[in-house]
Structure 1
Amino acid sequence: MKIVVVGGTGLIGSKVVARLAGQGHEAVAAAPSTGVDTLTGEGLAEALAGAQAVVDVSNSPSFERAAVLEFFETSTGNLLAAEAAAGVGHHVALSVVGTERMPDNGYFAAKIAQERLIEKSGIPFSLVHATQFFEFVRGIADDATDGDTVRIAPVLFQPIAGEEVAQAVARVAAGQPLNGRTEVAGPEQTRMDAFFRDALAAWGDPRTVVADPQATYFGSVPGERTLVPGEDATLGRIRYRDWLDQSDAGR
């Protein structure tokens, strides 16, 4: 089966391409560097010719509210139109657990807008909602840093290894459309402040983590369960400390 992976040269996309190729599929990495630009439409028709499924794991280069909304609406609109013209039978998009629970957040609002376009497109679809990636937790800590203090909301947190996100996306892409969503998360659920206190200790980072109920997560205050999945989520097996010990990214 020919499966085009938009954002296929990135962190998750490259792993999805490798997994699908390993399963015997014709996995095509689509990105500006391979001649495919979803913002302009350049190369889309050629890349999608003969494709049975399209996976979209692309991301906005800017998280500023207006910019991220414009990216997802323009990119997704162009992609869906090209899929309709090419007769693609399955659209898979990677999204975020909790989008609907924090709509005041600019990034989450943009992902909601993206999902609505997909749901209304008439193309059979699957949405994979993932929790935060292990690869991004240092960035979360840096965003929450004020001097030598990392202010973290004491809410529930359940991050996942990027490899296991890619595994879930590849599995969904090779299957039948869900016409709905599935959730994936890491194996350990803990308080966000406790997670980062342990993580910084593991990194040898001298910053102090403070539990602050008013601390923001990229501009918005998360609720108790904003960032964690429901009971039916598929859980990964890789624990953060094991990932940190074993991965080049962790080191």
Structure 2
Amino acid sequence: MQLTVLGCSGSAPGPDRPTSGYLVEAAGIRIALELGGGVFGPLQQRCDPFELDAVLLSHLHLDHCADFSALTTYLRAHPAPPASFDRLRVLAPSHAPSRLAAAHAASEEELDALRLADTFDFVPLEEGRFTVGPVSIEVAPMRHICEAYAFRISHEGASLVFTGDTVPCPELVALARGADLLLADAAWREQAGRANYLHMSGRETSVVATEAGVRRLVLTHVLPWSDRDGVLADAVEAFTGPVSLAEPGATYVV
């Protein structure tokens, strides 16, 4: 598998970093993992949006799904869609159809009539396992301030785990057990004084990675006003495996 970082800033874009968005490729399958603000452009640099096989949305905060509206416009308004294009599969929280359609409806009446079902095949997420072609996707609920999930994406024995937004929890450790790469929410240096059920710090991600026995840790979702070098230093101090900060355009072979 190959993981490409399209965007990695948390909560809001940074001056040179879109918010959360990644492209996962394996055996000819292309999966967009999150579509935060600013990532649809970098996505088009790497593949034709009509060639996506699925979209995964961990939750529906805008820094993870804002550019779904750009994808929607592209697929619905393109003057020459491929004859082979039917509907794009979207694995997302249960309220995704109405929430995402609201970006394109000018009134309540229009929203009632618009569910984007002609363009997307929405599959509500729940704990369990899904497949996209030969790629396996295991889903586990996380602890955030809204309905949110983490994903374990596997193919031919290789696995990467994306935490989405969460605080440390047993469900995440279990999902990440033995993973080759953990792409982890590391918003800031310290959790102290902040509301529960938001994000992890760099140190907390490294503790999860150590408990789960993952091979490599990549820190993402660092807030644009956070100390990126400090977040990295905290994680390196507590995890003995390779650790790096996600950067737009970076690729990882899993």
How does the TM-score come out when normalised to structure 2?
0.33
How does the TM-score come out when normalised to structure 1?
0.33
Higher strand proportion? 2
Higher helix proportion? 1
Q: Which has the larger radius of gyration?
A: 1
